[in-house]
Amino acid sequence: MPRPVEPADPGVPFDDAPPFDDVPPDEWAPPEDDGWMPPPEPYGGSGAPPAAAPPGPGEPPVRDFTGTTPADVLREVYGYDAFRGDQAAIIDQVTGGGDAVVLMPTGGGKSVCYQVPALVRPGTGLVVSPLIALMHDQVDALVANGVRAAYLNSTQDAAERRRVEQAYVSGGLDLLYVAPERLNTDSARRLLGQGRLSVIAIDEAHCVSQWGHDFRPDYLGLGDLAERFPDVPRIALTATATPATHREISERLQLPGARHFVSSFDRPNIQYRIEAKSDPRRQLTAFIRSQPEGAAGIVYALSRKSVEQTAEYLSAQGIDALPYHAGLPAETRAANQSRFLREDGVVMVATIAFGMGIDKPDVRFVAHIDLPKSVEGYYQETGRAGRDGQPAVAWMAYGLGDVVQQRRMIDQSPGDRTYKMRLGQHLDAMLALCETVGCRRQNLLGYFGEASTPCGNCDTCIEAPDTWDGLVPAQKLLSTIVRLQRERNQAFGAGHLIDILRGASTDRIRQQGHDALATYGLGADLSDQDWRSVIRQLLARGILVARGEYGTLALGESAGGVLRGETPVPLRRDTIGRTSAPRVRRAAAPDGVAAGDVPLFEALRAWRAGVARELGVPAYIVFGDATLRALAQRRPSSLADLDGVPGIGAKKREAYGDAVLEVVAEQAA
């Protein structure tokens, strides 16, 4: 059955400016305005791109869909025959005037859930969107489908803003996108009162959660929309929310009577892999080389310095890698983002600032070379892979240094004890995911309150990790920490403690007299890497804690039971690089395309790339790969044959139909 795709879906709004160059961005420092967007040069004109404005005098009219049915809109605008999942029920709820809270995974089709009601109800749909890049992306896709869509943001000059405002007041817009920061201004409030709203959609609704990984203060003011527009249905949407965040969304946005729709958070096409960190850049290179040649990917690093060094390293290894972070010149960011969206095989190395508003469906992998600060963040970032439903991989290298650094950042963060405790809980959940010996997907979904069975498509399911009894090594380590503290009032980090246990003869050990400790040399049977694995896992379980600026180790709450031998300590045995052995990169075979259809599929891809370059838009704005696969299989010979091809609505059939038929005919000759 043909499946509607989501014209665009956001990632996570973050400002990646860190307080220091070698530490990750502070999650409590959200963007101050409605975001950054590359300059408009790729669109070939000055001011906002043409897609951002409604049709002007002399331009062909765009159909008004008011009064049509949702099914009619789905077929004519999006080119699909049937809704999927909860889409139909959500659309019926909002179209009928009811409120809705929607939790749906990335790629699940959230945008359709508010765009369709906005088209069939009289008036203009207001979409609260957290970043300019997202507005551009969604408006481009809507205009390409024949929808009267526009946005208001800081990239526009006064004349362009007036044109959009006049179009709204006169009823000439189906959808208007506005950032929460702008919506909370007096001028925006006055403007909205002069027109007629059909629907109010609050995208990325989890940004209202003060305890979330993505808090945006201006989202708190959106609850007032219930009082200002009591007769306008509202829909709040997010791709990730724990049960607690779900409740907070309902309360803060004043949606007490809303109907709640919670879809599965599972992304079955994504394979999750996490391995112990030893040499992360070499491990990353090996992983990328194991992926199909020409595969696009995103690599996340915590600091700007790491981003640039990693991109440079990958480039030296022959991988087409580009850096992206907020410290780069705007022109560089724009150029790199444009290449990533428009070219095949580009790997973007970025801080978490990258990804918001990026709707590239064919990202085949997302890699982390540093530990994310929360499961929510990890889920959002990895969710940028495989939006087209085809197989994708989420890979991470994770080590002891990540744990110590994250604990130190929490200790040094602003905020009261409760706030720091919440950050610690986020980190504990992330560590539990990394250290689990069970199914990673089961652990991940369980965090969001969703029960599941082992998936068979994660590293721990494919190859169950070896476990061993770590009680005695844990006791030796804890005893060393206790002796140093009680006998000498000293505390040290992991490196020095490992040297003591392994019986190293370093200047520091001799100067401190630590070769006289009773535990000196008792851990020589384990390697340095083995001990780091032990410490990392003990930190993850709270048996150890890292304290202070230097990450010195101390006993956690459950250490007493370990020292007394009452608490078992099963540990997983690390296998470096188990899931990413280097292989020669193979050509990417089109998924779901029969061998005999590949030449036509590739010809259609080449045609699509040319059209996208001419229009200055990403290729998926023209057609998605699923549409090209269907065309290659069906081989249409007339415009009538294009009816029912998924992703080809009336507007695109009119714009591209003849050209598509020409490509098909040339391949048949």
For tokens 């310095």, the residue is: 305
For tokens 């050990």, the residue is: 509
In sequence order, what DSSP letters do the residues of 375-401 get, joined into one string? HHHHHHHHTTS-TTSS-EEEEEEE-HH
Helix (H, G, I), strand (E, B) or coil at 505: coil
420 and 545 assigned to the same domain: no
pLDDT at 211: 57
pLDDT at residue 115 tops 90: yes
pLDDT at 356: 60
Residue 32 lies in a domain: no
Question: pLDDT tens digit string along 333-351?
Answer: 889 988 998 888 999 999 9
pLDDT at residue 221 tops 70: yes
354 and 247 assigned to the same domain: no
Domain count of the fold of the chain: 4
Question: pLDDT tens digit string along 275-291?
Answer: 999 899 999 999 999 99
CATH, residue 384 = 3.40.50.300
Residue 412 backbone class (left: φ over 0; alpha: ψ -120 to 50; beta: rest): alpha
pLDDT at 590: 63
94 and 159 assigned to the same domain: yes
Q: Distance between CA 490 and CA 553 in Å, rounded?
A: 10
Percent of the chain with pLDDT over 90: 50
Instruction: Please answer whether residues 208 and 248 qualify as being in contact, where contact means their C-beta atoms are separated by less than 8 angstroms.
Output: yes
Q: What is the 3-state secondary structure (H, E, C) of 474-499?
A: HHHHHHHHHHHHHHHCCCCCHHHHHH
139 and 274 assigned to the same domain: no
pLDDT at residue 54 tops 50: no
pLDDT at 416: 81
The range of the structural domain enclosing residue 541 comes to: 468-572
Question: pLDDT tens digit string along 306-324?
Answer: 999 999 999 999 999 999 9
Residue 8 lies in a domain: no
289 and 405 assigned to the same domain: yes
Boundary of a domain, candidates 519, 541, 572: 572
pLDDT at residue 568 tops 80: yes
Strands (E), 81-130: 100-103, 124-128
Give the containing element (helix H, strand E) for 421.
helix 417-435
pLDDT at 541: 83
321 and 335 assigned to the same domain: yes
**CA geometry: angle at 58 spanning 56 and 60, to 5°?**
85
pLDDT at 466: 85
Instruction: Please answer whether residues 363 and 386 qualify as being in contact, where contact means their C-beta atoms are separated by less than 8 angstroms.
Output: yes
Radius of gyration of the chain (CA): 27
353: tokens are 């600032």
Buried b (16+ CB within 10 A) or exposed e, 293-316: ebbbbbbbbbbbebbbebbebbee
Residue 350 lies in a domain: yes
Could you tell me the strand order of the sheet in which 197-202 lies? 149-152, 175-178, 124-128, 197-202, 234-238, 100-103, 259-262
Boundary of a domain, candidates 262, 291, 313: 262
Average pLDDT of the chain?
A: 84
Q: Distance between CA 118 and CA 232 in Å, rounded?
A: 11
530 and 610 assigned to the same domain: no
Residue 23 lies in a domain: no
395 and 482 assigned to the same domain: no
pLDDT (mean) for 166-188:
91
Q: How many residues does the chain have?
A: 669
376 and 324 assigned to the same domain: yes
